[in-house]
Amino acid sequence: MRAPQPTAPYDPLTAEARNLLFRTASYLNGKEQEQLEKACAFAFHAHDGQTRKSGEPYITHPLAVATQLAVWHMDIQGLCAGVMHDVLEDTGVTKLEMAAEFGETIAEMVDGLSKLEKLEYNSQAEHQAESFRKLILAMTKDVRVIVVKLADRLHNMRTLGSMRPEKRRRIAQETLEIYAQIANRIGLNNAYQELQDLSFQNLHPRRYETLQKAMKASRRNRRDVVGKVLRAFSVRLVDANIEAKIKGREKNLYSIHQKMQAKNLRFADVMDIYGFRVIVNSIPACYAALGALHSLYQPKPGRFKDYIAIPKSNGYQSLHTTLVGPYGLPIEVQIRTWEMDAVAEGGVAGHWIYKSGESTVDQATLHTNRWLKNILDLQAGSANAMEFFEAVKVDLFPNEVYILTPKGKILALPKGATPIDFAYAVHTDIGHRTVAARINNTMMPLRTKLKTGDSVEIITSEQAKPNPAWLNFAVSSRARSAIRNYIKNMNRKDAVTLGENLLQKALSSLLPQNILLSDGLKEKYLEDLNNKQTTFEDVLYNVGMGHTLPVTVAMHIAELAGEHFGGEVRLSPIKINGGETGRVHLAQCCQPLPGDAIRALLIKDQGLVIHRDTCPNMLKADPDQQLDADWESITDQSFRATLVVGSRDTRGLLASMAQAISSSGADIESVETPQKQPGTEGFIEFKFFLKVKNTEQLNDIIRALHVIPQVQRIVRV
């Protein structure tokens, strides 16, 4: 399709939108303005005859999107992509035609912005997830794609009134959860706050209206206070010979609403609805201004944050402090340079806004590029679009902690992060090989929550591998995705091996000659399943995962081999060697040891769990899921065992117990002393977590402990 000449016949409304775009994009040179006019004409022709829900010509929307991009000083390719962002999705124009007119880069950007409309999906959620994945992956190739998308979403949210109420709520919820957070993540602060407020307005219109009225009333009541603070700031900074621009600002409605909800406050109780921004010429001037303002109003303890020394993960830099102002009102103050202010308002778009601040802007772009690399890692580790969608949502965390490596490097992690999150943030291989961690030079559990300023050292082992239990406390999407991906790959291999073992044992119980499972029998079995997508490895995997009972598959195969039988079928015992794999676990509830009578329980999605045969959980389990099990000859392995020892409380008691245990050749992993109960004065209980070889060694320990006169009872947990 050839673009018409720039003399396309715009109607008055369209002409007004087009003229506003060119006034806002006046920073373009003559050649770039010609290219933008060509893109406008191309989009006008493509959308000719289309209207929005409001009845306005459709072209007014892409023109408004491009105007917003011009406010952010987007380059010419980004502006052209903004004008034409719906052309491939909503018209008959192809990507090849667009590339021929405007080049491959612009065509790729527009294609990345187009939804996946022509494919079939099982649900709206799946469709949304696939479209989102396409957008995010396009963003990793060219970050301008997401900037255009945010401008698109911003204009759609501003004009959401013509939509049905339920659709408004759905779009607003998606915007709040995803697009506002992305705007925050790449540093588009104004867009972040406006998207929050617009989402709040459409999700809770009555609350929004009530809060808006309260804000207007407060604005009148507190005008004098704001003016007084601005004058006092100005005088003090002039006296200190600091050149600065001072701005007063209100917090956005959504952040006030969040604070009211979190702290159960009324609007009248929210004091810090106003903030002030001080913009100076250099970093030393930031700290000088901080000292001057701290001498003017008393700072609130614990409310100072230095984001200049330690920038946020989106590249944001500023000093934050809270002062006690007139009438005891708290005053939040941000102090930053002009370059920092450009990045704070424009994020990665600051690259186009403030070209002279290269070092600061590069820092913001660097942080965004790191995030985009993390997004690619999430994509590689996600099984499908839904899993990727959820992982990215988790990654868009609003709160962070800042952790030091042993070499003094600072890593930003989500609030609630643990040493496992830290290890995977350093490198995936470090995470996989983690065995322990030192926090501030002290050995601490891997589930310990980290605080800003903590120094963390990870201890690794070549033999270590990720533990599925880490998923219970890892919070970063990078760590969770890497752990899941590793376990998924290892679990399939383990499950197939276990499934093959179980199936062969079942067949040996059914077929007297113990004939081998031939390729011909496998093919016959798969033909009977009548599922062309299933391989025999899939069959073994399902057996190992507990989805299919091994006896069921074995009976089917035996019948295909011409064997007919009746009565109960019992598998030969599973041999346990004590080496846990991804599909064979020793139960933690009863901690079986070599020497205990054991049984195996086949649990869906877990594999085989080995219990003592007297374990209450085994007695309650479905008999069809149970298998006989025996220990193989085990020589050089240790197993966990737990003893609770009750005793009279005397001096040196714990040392005597430890001596009795170690003399038996066992290791003590840890000791707990449960809280004393009322009426048990003079009596104490110890819980010993031990590593032993077998029941014989455990019994030796119990006998040695009973020799101690103070010991009254010993229970194996």
Q: Which of 48, 56, 90, 377 is catalytic?
A: 90
Compute mean pLDDT per 10 residues along the chain, 717 residues long, and list them: 44 84 92 93 90 88 94 91 90 88 91 62 61 70 84 93 87 87 81 92 92 81 77 92 88 85 78 83 94 92 86 82 84 90 67 42 56 63 63 61 82 87 92 91 90 89 84 85 78 76 72 61 79 78 75 75 52 63 73 87 73 84 78 77 89 87 86 70 86 90 91 88
Cα separation, 538 vs 492, in Å, equals 9
The residue behind tokens 């990727």 is 388
The DSSP 8-state label assigned to residue 446 in this structure reads T
Segments of 172-212 assigned E as strands = none
Question: Collapsing DSSP states into helix, strand and coil, what is residue 511?
Answer: coil
**Per-residue pLDDT at 677:** 63
Q: Give the distance, in angstroms, between the CA of residue 37 and the centroid of all CA atoms in the same chain.
A: 42
DSSP 656-674: HHHHHHHHTT-EEEEEE-P
Q: Which residues of 642-680 are buried (b: 16+ CB within 10 A; e: fewer)?
A: ebebebeeeeebbebbeebbeebebeeeeeeeeeeeeee
Is 34 considered catalytic here? no
Task: Give CA separation, 207 vs 202, 258, 368, 683, in Å.
Answer: 10, 12, 35, 59
Point out which residues pair with 609 in neighbouring strands.
585, 601
**Per-residue pLDDT at 356:** 38
Confirm if 70 and 349 have CB atoms less than 8 A apart. Answer: no
| Phi, psi for residue 443 in degrees, rounded to 5 | -65, 130
The contacts of residue 245 (CB under 8 Å, 6+ apart) are 278, 279
- One-letter amino acid at 360 equals T
Considering only CA atoms, which of 554, 584, 582 is closest in space to residue 492?
Answer: 582
Cα separation, 521 vs 233, in Å, equals 87
Cα separation, 370 vs 52, in Å, equals 38
Please tell me the pTM assigned to this model.
0.57
Per the rule left: phi > 0, alpha: psi between -120 and 50, beta: everything else, 106 is alpha
Rg (C-alpha) for the chain, rounded Å, is 33
**Per-residue pLDDT at 114:** 78
The residue behind tokens 């643990």 is 418
Is 89 considered catalytic here? yes
Angle at which helices 189-203 and 338-346 cross, to 10° = 40
Cα separation, 1 vs 101, in Å, equals 9
Considering only CA atoms, which of 711, 646, 704 is closest in space to residue 673?
Answer: 646
Sheet holding 607-612, edge to edge: 574-576, 626-631, 598-603, 607-612, 584-586
- As a dihedral over the C-alpha atoms of residue 570, residue 574, residue 575, residue 578, rounded to 10 degrees, the angle is -150
Q: Which residues of 357-367 are buried (b: 16+ CB within 10 A; e: fewer)?
A: beebbebbbeb
Task: Give CA separation, 237 vs 315, 361, 376, in Å.
Answer: 27, 27, 47
DSSP 69-106: HHHTT--HHHHHHHHTTTHHHHSS--HHHHHHHH-HHH
Cα separation, 632 vs 616, in Å, equals 24
Task: Give CA separation, 163 vs 55, 123, 157, 200, 700, in Å.
Answer: 12, 21, 10, 16, 76
Sheet holding 711-716, edge to edge: 667-672, 683-692, 639-648, 711-716
The contacts of residue 487 (CB under 8 Å, 6+ apart) are 466, 468, 582
Q: Which of 32, 48, 75, 89 is catalytic?
A: 89
